[in-house]
């Protein structure tokens, strides 16, 4: 399925803007993508020609004083473009086209007050639109910007030089920057003052810029009968044929897609380079050291808090376990994690934002779990065996004395009965002493064991606080890891989105232009010298 370039570029740039807002990429990293232009030559004119054929838009481009306006006036047979001494300060764009063409609403950046429009009714030139551009190297600083705004709407750039100014640096830099994006024809104007050596030197310069056997025409408004102006016009009329124009449009689309592909692939590689597994591994190592340090550093505060807890049966802010030292340990861990992420090419801004949210939560987490666990420990002090033995001794503390008293009572009743029947002596003082000792010991032994087995409230509170701290640290660790996983998941989502855009951009078959054709001579070679 083929995707329209402008729609695809809009989706890609919206993706980039969203990623910049999230902090996943920087403005500089997305600059190549955001700088791409969706404008094309289709966006300027509506044609009344058969089938609504698109005209070929040709722009005269060059430095000050090379005679661009004179060439356009010669083509029109009348003075439609400013020339002469006024030219260096002119910021006007002149359009010259057939009356069957209607100018569409101008895109942003192309102000109507900077355009002069002239029309003709010559049917032989109905498929051509001529544009006279401002001198981009003039003293008017706005001229260059105006030229750049018009370039995306132009099919062929007619690069005009003069024998004296064909090596101008500003014009040359513009040619190198825009070379691949357009078809080019070259004109050495004012040839009546030129030399063959200058013409040959211009061709050598164009070869350096990547033009293989470029089409260069020599013209002279002073001696028109001896120049190649007619050949130039014939070449443009031939290029305006539907097949040539279609190939030119396809190539332009191909180049723009290649630029989009390069920009998207650079961003995709950026997301692929982000080593989240390595960050997770480094975090685990750092967390183990931090956790051990926190447990050691909070050992004494735990004992103090356990004592305070038994005394007050509450945990107030005055007895907070998570102090400034503990908070600084966690802050250092999270800050170092952000630095490690930066070293692994991971987006730091969204990671740091989400990790900073965890910092104030740490104290609340520790307070919650330590208080809950300590209160539970005080409700059920000791371990299971200890609590079983405590229950058993409590039962024995009651049951054993009752059993001893029952035994003694039985002996008293039995002795009294025997003494009455057999006239034997009644129980003596030794029995009374032994019975008292038996009853006393049967209560005292389990009572003593119960007291000895009773767990320390402070120890129970300390164990509860330690357990709560363990749970709190586990929770903090889990939260940090979840945030890292969420960042990795978001990274993978953005990578999948950009890979879909890359796949969609690859759906158009590359255009093939015959190597020996005139059109190929107007294009930058794929392999520059």
- Tell me the domain boundaries of the chain: 56-239, 384-453
Pairing of strands 216-218, 115-120: unpaired
pLDDT at 91: 63
Question: Which of 235, 217, 210, 230 is closest to 519 using CA atoms?
Answer: 235
Pairing of strands 101-103, 45-47: antiparallel
pLDDT at 437: 81
Handedness of CA 370, 371, 372, 376 (dihedral sign): positive
Inter-residue long-range contacts of 411-418, CB under 8 Å, 24+ positions, other chains counted = 411/435
Residue 97 CA to residue 38 CA, distance in Å, equals 24
pLDDT one-digit tens code per residue, 338-372: 999 999 989 999 999 989 988 999 989 998 888 88
Residue 69 CA to residue 138 CA, distance in Å, equals 14
Question: Which of 414, 394, 418, 395 is closest to 406 using CA atoms?
Answer: 414
Phi-psi region of 308 (alpha: psi -120 to 50; beta: other; left: phi over 0): alpha
Residue 113 CA to residue 97 CA, distance in Å, equals 18
pLDDT at 314: 47
Q: Which CATH fold would you assign to the domain 56-239?
A: Rossmann fold (3.40.50)
3-state SS, 24-60, equals CCCCCCCHHHHCCCCCCHHHCEEECCHHHCCCEEEEE
Rounded mean pLDDT for each run of 10 residues along the chain, 529 residues in total: 74 93 92 82 60 77 82 79 52 81 67 75 83 71 72 85 81 69 87 90 87 88 81 85 74 83 93 92 93 89 77 54 89 92 90 90 89 78 68 80 80 70 64 78 77 68 86 93 93 93 76 70 67
Handedness of CA 259, 261, 267, 269 (dihedral sign): negative
In the three-class reduction of DSSP (H, G, I as helix; E, B as strand; rest coil), residue 61 is classed as strand
pLDDT one-digit tens code per residue, 227-277: 888 898 888 888 887 667 777 777 778 888 888 999 999 999 999 999 999
pLDDT at 137: 64
First CA to last CA distance, the chain:
36
């Amino acid at each position: 399925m083929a995707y329209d370039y402008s729609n695809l570029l809009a989706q890609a740039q919206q993706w980039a803007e969203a990623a910049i807002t999230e902090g996943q990429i920087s403005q500089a990293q997305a600059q190549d993508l955001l700088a791409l232009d969706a404008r094309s030559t289709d966006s300027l004119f509506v044609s009344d020609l058969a089938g609504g054929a698109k005209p070929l838009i040709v722009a005269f481009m060059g430095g000050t004083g090379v005679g661009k306006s004179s060439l356009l006036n010669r083509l029109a047979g009348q003075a439609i473009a400013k020339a002469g001494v006024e030219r260096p300060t002119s910021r006007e764009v002149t359009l010259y086209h057939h009356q069957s063409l209607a100018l569409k609403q101008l895109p942003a950046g192309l102000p109507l007050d900077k355009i002069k429009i002239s029309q003709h009714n010559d049917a032989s030139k109905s498929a051509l639109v001529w544009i006279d551009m401002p001198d981009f190297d003039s003293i008017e600083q706005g001229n260059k910007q105006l030229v750049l705004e018009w370039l995306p709407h132009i099919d062929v750039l007619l690069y005009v030089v003069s024998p004296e100014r064909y090596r101008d640096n500003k014009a040359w830099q513009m040619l190198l920057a825009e070379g691949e994006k357009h078809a080019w024809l070259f004109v050495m104007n004012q040839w009546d003052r030129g030399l063959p050596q200058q013409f040959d030197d211009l061709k050598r310069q164009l070869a350096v810029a990547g033009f293989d056997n470029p089409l260069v025409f020599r013209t002279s408004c002073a001696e028109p009968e001896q120049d190649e102006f007619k050949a130039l016009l014939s070449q443009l009329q031939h290029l305006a044929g539907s097949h040539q124009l279609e190939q030119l449009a396809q190539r332009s689309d191909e180049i723009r897609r290649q630029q989009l592909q390069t920009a998207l692939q650079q961003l995709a590689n950026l997301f692929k380079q982000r080593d989240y597994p390595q960050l997770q591994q480094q975090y685990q190592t750092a967390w183990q050291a931090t956790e051990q340090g926190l447990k050691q550093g909070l050992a004494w505060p735990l004992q103090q808090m356990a004592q305070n807890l038994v005394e007050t049966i509450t945990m107030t802010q005055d007895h907070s376990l998570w102090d400034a030292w503990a908070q600084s340990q966690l802050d250092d861990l999270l800050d170092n994690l952000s630095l490690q992420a930066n070293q692994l090419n991971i987006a730091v801004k969204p990671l740091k934002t989400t990790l900073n949210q965890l910092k104030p939560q740490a104290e609340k987490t520790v307070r919650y779990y330590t208080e809950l666990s300590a209160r539970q420990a005080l409700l059920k002090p000791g371990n299971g065996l200890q609590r079983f033995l405590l229950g058993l001794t409590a039962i024995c503390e009651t049951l054993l004395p009752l059993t001893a008293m029952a035994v003694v009572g039985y002996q008293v009743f039995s002795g009294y009965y025997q003494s009455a029947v057999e006239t034997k002596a009644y129980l003596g003082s030794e029995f009374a002493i032994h019975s008292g000792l038996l009853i006393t010991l049967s209560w005292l032994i389990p009572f003593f064991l119960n007291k000895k087995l009773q767990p320390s409230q402070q120890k129970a509170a300390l164990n509860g606080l330690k357990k709560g701290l363990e749970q709190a640290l586990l929770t903090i660790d889990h939260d940090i890891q979840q945030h890292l996983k969420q960042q990795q998941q978001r990274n993978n989502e953005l990578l999948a989105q950009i890979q879909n855009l890359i796949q969609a951009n690859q759906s158009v078959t590359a255009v093939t232009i015959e190597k020996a054709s005139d059109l190929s001579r107007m294009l930058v070679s794929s392999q520059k010298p």
